[in-house]
Structure 1
């Protein structure tokens, strides 16, 4: 191999082992199955050193699929000074006639596609960003567990024809009412007490994770962006922190339409000849960020206004950020009413609003000091 050649190395990763294949960059080269190595860090470092000694003048390019093993392989290989690409399994081309799938074939397939430039690498977050994302997802899991416990308790009361006469469920008054209930059978009373105790425990767990998430976000390098996008209606701290934790650096998108496509909020399309057919949204990319945006989009069904809570979130922000958020609210509220008057389904309208919300979030993020490499980055235009 000449001194400017490239060696492509594919890893089919698993919990206990990695399957390795490599391919040289000259014309007519065939992929070679290297074998299987343990998944330990020392084994990966040894593999890199072996290729460095065998091909001292080649540039090593590693590739593997994103999965439950995480990004530690990417960070290890890049720390050793080599290129590494992480690709999404859903974006790997697959022939319709392929019916045999093995670890060896997968590793060989990766190096072939990497050499032919048919793979699109995904964004790999920084370790501290991934840690905050894990905390944000743990908070969401705590919220889901709390809802499940409440649902189980309500079904128990429904089976026994017990109804609460108050208005606010799960308030302090409601919880006190639950403790005063007496069910017909002692076994049911035990179940009731266990459900109440579970709900109290999960409420406290959710509160702890909310406090920890707020603390971690305030001490994070993306906090100026999290604070700035809260100027928008329907984007509170938990929503803003969740979106930024999932999407990371928004400045890597040079146009808001690319960000819309990344979160899967653009319509699918099947066009041929002179016909153009638009279908449902693609639902590609990060589903949690898409769900948070849809949740925030529900608030635009009301008339445009700056409530007290929104005004508090906007305090201390630059005037251009506040003006941009107000223009976004005016446009999105009008668009919501216009689409509803056209007879569009409610879910379709909310999805359309969420699609434009991420465009304004992108504009606010670009307006804010986001990138530590270029802290003077400013873009004043608002996406239409």
Structure 2
């Protein structure tokens, strides 16, 4: 049995395999449990292996590559059109096996263990930030029930809670005082954890020349630069800057037919967290454009004739294209010179 191309449908405990030879004839259909999966692949001669980019796919891609196999990952939505009739694990594995050989298929770059570790830090930070916001809002609502209203903002909150707890003239039940103290301590603990994560990201960014270069782009800071390098790598999987921007969902959704082009709002496809970082970075640039209009004339002119949010998203898309070019060509940021 000579397997030329192998499609693998990944799961938590059961893995479905579908292999074909050089002529496209099916020579392997097998279902394996997790403990038998890697040993079985080790016995096969090096071949092309296709998998959907999903949970654990990058891990198995790194493992199988060590045995001489050529592993390619594909977005699940690009594999779906190759599924025949009903959806089953066997049908999915067959579709993956067929899709991986298509010349126009788009593939996902296999991430290193270090890249995934950095992305895990971003995920942890995002969860902690959301938990902190929820806890702050809950504590504000509890105090509002007793007529205690604080000004908007984290600074006012961090100063207001200790003042409330230390002020003996404020009539609060001992239960509420102890509850507020516990919740405030928990919120402070969350902030300390976020600070530690940002310090780890900063230390990693100092070891990455790509992070140092892209942080010179207006609107790109520590979070955007580290997430960019960890999730995209060298950017070689994208053929052009527009494709990278489209992958982020920052280009218009198109529904053209009959020779007539119809463009809608941005598609919002792809990584929502990455898009969020770029858009808010562009928003920060737009907020100070009056002081830097000579350095960024394109954005300044766009803000004069377009809606504010439309201009911000356009700037985010432009930033994404600049970042892709800097990653692929390994160049420094060159600001616009108007003098």
Normalising by structure 2, we get a TM-score of: 0.86
Shift of 1:18: 0.8
Return 5+ residue gaps in structure 1 as ranges: 53-58, 307-324, 341-345, 370-377
Q: Structure 2, unaligned stretches of length 5 or more? A: none
- 1:269 to partner: Cα distance: 0.6
Question: Following the alignment from structure 2 to structure 1, what is the Cα–Cα distance between the partners of residues 158 and 13?
Answer: 50
In the TM superposition, residue 354 of structure 1 has moved relative to its aligned partner by 0.7
Quick one: distance in 1 between partners of 2:112 and 2:294? 32
Equivalent residue in structure 2 for 1:38, among 33, 36, 45: 33
CA distance in 2, matches of 1:137, 1:103: 30
Match of 2:189 among 201, 221, 224: 201
How far apart, CA to CA, are the structure 2 residues paired with 1:166 and 1:85? 49
Cα gap change, 1:170/1:8 in structure 2, threshold over 3 Å: closer, same or farther? farther
* Superposed displacement of residue 211, structure 1: 1.2
Greater shift in the superposed pair: 118-127 or 353-362: 118-127
Matches within 5 A, 1:146-295: 146-164=132-150, 169-170=155-156, 172-180=158-166, 182=170, 184-219=172-207, 223-250=208-235, 252-295=237-280
Could you tell me how far 1:202 is from its partner in structure 2?
A: 0.6
Partners of 2:240 and 2:20 in 1: CA distance = 35
User: 1:124: which partner in 2?
Assistant: 110
Residue number among 325, 344, 347 corresponding to 2:309 in the alignment: 347
The whole-number CA distance in structure 2 between the counterparts of 1:15 and 1:355 is 37
8 Å Cα contact 1:301-1:337 kept in structure 2: no
- 1:276 is paired with a residue whose SS is coil
Deviations 1:257-292 (A, max 9, x none): 122112121111111113221112222222221110
Deviation, 1:49, is 3.9
Distance 2:155 2:93 in 1: 54
TM-superposed deviation, 1:72: 1.6
How many pairs align? 333
The one of 7, 11, 15 equivalent to 2:8 is 11
- The DSSP-based 3-state class of the residue aligned with 1:264 is coil
Partner in structure 1 of residue 320 of structure 2: 358
Q: Aligned partners of 2:92 and 2:238: how far apart in 1? A: 30
C-alpha contact 2:13 2:33 (8 A) present in aligned 1: yes
Which region of structure 1 is more displaced relative to structure 2, 62-71 or 109-118? 109-118
Quote the Cα distance in structure 2 between the aligned partners of 1:194 and 1:118: 57
**Greater mean alpha carbon deviation, residues 203-212 or residues 181-190:** 181-190
Rounded to whole Å, the distance in 2 between the matches of 1:118 and 1:161 is 64
How far 1:103 sits from its partner (Å)?
Answer: 1.2
> What is the DSSP-based 3-state SS (H/G/I as helix, E as strand, rest coil) of the residue aligned with 1:272?
coil
Give the Cα separation in 2 of the matches to 1:380 and 1:22: 49
1:332 is displaced (CA, Å) by 2.1
Question: Counterparts of 1:197 and 1:380 in 2: how far apart (Å)?
Answer: 46
SS state at 2:126 partner: helix
Question: Judging changes above 3 Å, is the alpha-carbon distance between structure 1 residues 353 and 201 closer, same or farther for their aligned structure 2 residues?
Answer: same
Q: Deviations over 1:177-201 (max 9, x none)?
A: 2433656434333332221111111
What is the CA deviation profile of residues 336-364 of structure 1, one whole-angstrom value per residue up to 9, with x for unaligned ones? Answer: 33313xxxxx4333211211111222344
The CA deviation at 1:380 is 7.7
CA-CA distance at 1:6 after TM superposition: 6.5
Is the alpha carbon distance of 1:284 and 1:103 closer, same or farther for their aligned partners in structure 2, counting shifts above 3 Å?
A: same
Instruction: Work out the CA distance in 1 between the residues paired with 2:130 and 2:106.
Output: 33
Q: Secondary structure at the match of 2:199?
A: helix
Cα deviation 1:286-327 (Å, max 9, x = unaligned): 222111001101121432546xxxxxxxxxxxxxxxxxx985
